[in-house]
Chain A
């Protein structure tokens, strides 16, 4: 782990409130990029990511107890997600929950799920794994996913593949399930 981050973590776990406050700056600078990218997976919205992350950092300052024995970047991300981010992610949609046709449990699983295999992989590991898995899909399935990842609508993807919107949705659904299996298999093989 980066020495700057290690020092910041030491300062964060100090008893003195002011020392913790001073340690926040190097900690934020060292982790901001990775934390915001991680949150983006769940929210897909920069403004919400920043709002949630602001509260996450303030929560860490207030109660840094869970960060006392962190030895790696991955462990840090895992701990921060488990103890700080999940709580805040749940709160984002709690206020609209009473008007939804989804149970509280399902809503929680959708917006702030338990940690899975992919949740713990770094951005570069995920990119590699996804790239390998995409290469094993049929060309139409791969094209549908690639176009979608470039930001195109279902209608545009359908026009590109010369098919209907309904068929594109089915194609993407199957491709995503295949991707899950392929990525899981390759993770287990490693």
Chain B
């Protein structure tokens, strides 16, 4: 990508190249303030990006080498398990704090033990 101010057609072709090569961040970082403004105001650029994505999907998505579904499934399952653990840990953390706050608020020991009983049942 050149470091001089690019015209809209050059910006589009550079965007298309970056999308094809999977390096959108470097394209985004290469934009100068003027180029950012040019993109924002150009209707043609936005029209063309739609087709660039189509070309990328049709031309290259089939050639992309993706993971085996079984392996990928284990990643998804690990992600789910980690979220489950987080949810359980946060709910466990909440319980004692609720009990102590109830004690602090001057409730009788009877009501506190009632809460404990309920929690055991759950």
Contacts and interface: CB of A to CB of B under 8 A. Distances in A.
State which size class the interface on A falls in.
35 or more
A189 interface: no
A102 B20 contact: no
Contacts of B10: 166, 169
A48 B77 CA distance: 18
Q: How large is the interface on B (under 10, 10 to 19, 20 to 34, 35 or more residues)?
A: 35 or more
B51 A49 contact: no
A46 B40 CA distance: 28
Interface in A143-164: 145, 148-149, 151, 153-154
21 contacts: A24-B80, A29-B73, A37-B57, A44-B56, A46-B22, A46-B66, A99-B29, A100-B36, A116-B50, A118-B50, A118-B54, A126-B58, A130-B54, A130-B55, A149-B59, A166-B10, A169-B9, A169-B13, A170-B9, A172-B13, A176-B16
Interface of B: 8-10, 12-13, 15-25, 28-29, 31-33, 35-36, 39-40, 44, 46-62, 64-67, 69, 72-73, 75-77, 79-80, 83-84
Given A44-B21, A46-B65, A123-B61, 5 more contacts: A103-B36, A113-B49, A172-B9, A177-B47, A180-B50
The 7 lowest CB-CB distance pairs between A and B, nearest first, are: A45-B22, A173-B9, A101-B36, A41-B57, A149-B59, A40-B61, A44-B22
